[in-house]
Amino acid sequence: MNAAQQAEWQQQVLAYSRAINAYVDTGLREGWDAAGKEPTVPELQHLLQPVVEHVRAAFAAGNDRDLKAELPISHEAMIPLLEHVGCAVMQVLLLDDGSILARIGDWYQDGGVMHVRGREAHWLEDILFIGRSADRRHYAAASAAGIRVTEGWQGREVARFDWPTGQEGLLGELGGADVSWAQQPNQLIPFDEGQRLLLVSSHGIWVLAASGATRLLPTDAEIEEDREDLDDDEAFDMRYDMPHGAVSPDNRWIAVGNQGSAHLVFDRDLNLVASIGPHSEYPHFACFSEDGRHVAFNACHFYNGTTIGVAVADLPGMDTDYYADDPRQTVLQEGSRVYATACRPGELIIGDANGYLRAMGWDGQPHWFHHLGSTISGMDISADGRTLVVGSHAGYLSIIQLDAEAARPYQIGNARHWEEKRWFFWQNTAPFCW
């Protein structure tokens, strides 16, 4: 691209970033009426192809060190292109050596796992899905043959699990019900020293162990109710939307849910100990704090939602209704449908359907926000809480240094976080970094 094109892109992107940051700052401080009209996204579609080609060429030649200064990143400007090339980056894991594992492609799509190390990104053979325990010690790697759990990434094997058959328990009488999607998990979470594993999928949530698979959801009552609603000639498709799960760091508690359930918590013996009514329509996500003292539950309605927090000490025996005003619950955030989270001491970071990272304390006080763009689909944080890696449905894998001295000029947000690099995993093209 020529110098005039580069100057136009740079000026327009930086002007928009300054304008939108000022708009949001005024709106949060003085109210949205005082903020006025939201700034207009610059029309840069005519520059998209030259910019992307320049970035790819610079990366291939190793000349991309200062590229973000010359050509700042703009998600909004790239939206017309993303509609054709975007690819979800899921199940993001930051390894202790600084490299990253990422599932490329949504759970229901053909895809696999990439290992990103420095400037290199390569596919891992036969590994389709990944997961890690809350204490970061044990990793799960799933293939068509089953799930392997190791101590450390690809370290000593501690367990192997077969995929659930879908016929466990009550389902023995269902015969031909399609449960193949159980082998396309949303989450894999090893616990109990890798001897058990929480498998979350749209066709069921199970705890896998050497003795077999135990179903947590759907419950017997859900299955029977759904079967009763079928017409005589209608096949039973055992699919439940928005499945999710989490295991506490001490392995004592398992939080699960789906679109039709409450927020449910089981103890390590798989006894139901809490049923908590959501504060929006459909339970969508759950996570525990890094110290295991709190649990957060998100429920959604379209692209919006509400996240509530509960002290783990209050869980046993808790039974609340939808939208219940209960003193044991704290509204942590209103407005976000949450797809991914990360925690560090005193702080919960959520990633939402509108492309925002939002951080808050467990008292519900907001800390900061940072805009990446597109639906946030995966997130992980380093053990020291300084590096955040974030995947999105736009095909982004962003590496962000938290609490830096400054933010990059193009970034939209109110915190001093520094985007170190952003990988692009797009359809029909080799990965590249910007």
DSSP string, 202-215: TTEEEEEETTEEEE
Residue with tokens 């800390």: 367
- Does the pLDDT value for residue 254 go beyond 80? yes
- Does the pLDDT value for residue 143 go beyond 90? yes
Considering Cα of 139, then 296, then 25, then 385, what sign does the dihedral take?
Answer: negative
| Alpha carbons 324 and 260: distance in angstroms, whole number | 17
- Does the pLDDT value for residue 65 go beyond 90? no
Q: What's the pLDDT at 221?
A: 80
- Does the pLDDT value for residue 172 go beyond 50? no
Mean of the per-residue pLDDT values for the chain?
94
Higher pLDDT, 394 or 233: 394
Q: What's the pLDDT at 428?
A: 87
Q: What's the pLDDT at 174?
A: 52
Band (pLDDT 50/70/90 cuts) for residue 222 is confident
Structure tokens at 187: 């989450």
Considering Cα of 153, then 180, then 377, then 245, what sign does the dihedral take?
Answer: negative
Return the percent helix, strand and coil in the chain, to nearest 5. Answer: 20, 40, 40
- Does the pLDDT value for residue 330 go beyond 90? yes
- Does the pLDDT value for residue 184 go beyond 80? yes
- The answer to whether the peptide bond before residue 72 is cis (omega within 30 degrees of 0) is no
113 φ, ψ (degrees, to nearest 5)? -115, 130
Mean pLDDT across the stretch 381-402?
A: 98
Which residues, listed in sequence order, are joined to residue 388 by a DSSP beta bridge?
Answer: 381, 400
- Does the pLDDT value for residue 329 go beyond 60? yes
- Does the pLDDT value for residue 179 go beyond 70? no
Higher pLDDT, 336 or 218: 336
Band (pLDDT 50/70/90 cuts) for residue 178 is low
Band (pLDDT 50/70/90 cuts) for residue 171 is very low
Band (pLDDT 50/70/90 cuts) for residue 180 is low
